[in-house]
């Protein structure tokens, strides 16, 4: 959720970071905002689902799908944005989530 919030907060500032002035077009602003919203939503969804995972199997499936989504975003960010430190942070977050999910799915049923 923090990465999504940072992404959204940086939207007005991102074009000022270029060495040469960049004219933001509507599609670039839209894509930048939507990535922030997607990361924020995925984080919120995971935060909510963690509190109810043991109650219903369907929530585990939704949580697994959200971890896969964050994983795809993290891998894609690291491949496409090689000079952006947040790309690697998102990859580390994704790897951590995959490890945590795997540990949860492999725990004995009586725990």
User: Tell me: the pLDDT tens digits for 24-43?
Assistant: 667 777 777 888 888 888 88
Residue 90 has a pLDDT of: 85
- The predicted model gives 74-101 an average pLDDT of 87
Give me 62's structure tokens.
Answer: 């939704």
The chain-wide mean pLDDT, for the chain, equals 79
- Quote the pTM value: 0.67
Give me 79's structure tokens.
Answer: 């491949």
Count Cα neighbours of 107 within 13 Å in the Cβ-side half-sphere: 9
| Whether the predicted pLDDT of 61 surpasses 60 | yes
Dihedral (C-alpha) 30, 35, 39, 44: value to the nearest 10 degrees?
A: 10
Residue bearing the bigger pLDDT, 73 or 56: 73
């Amino acid at each position: 959720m923090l990465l999504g919030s940072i992404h959204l907060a940086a939207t007005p500032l991102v074009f000022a970071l270029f060495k040469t002035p960049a004219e933001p077009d509507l599609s670039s602003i839209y894509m930048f905002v939507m990535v922030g919203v997607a990361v924020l939503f995925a984080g919120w969804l995971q935060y909510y689902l963690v509190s109810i995972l043991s109650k219903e199997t369907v929530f585990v499936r939704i949580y697994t799908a959200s971890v896969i989504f964050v994983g795809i975003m993290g891998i894609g960010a690291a491949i496409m944005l090689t000079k952006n430190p947040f790309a690697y942070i998102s990859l580390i977050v994704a790897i951590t989530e995959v490890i945590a999910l795997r540990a949860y799915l492999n725990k004995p049923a009586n725990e």
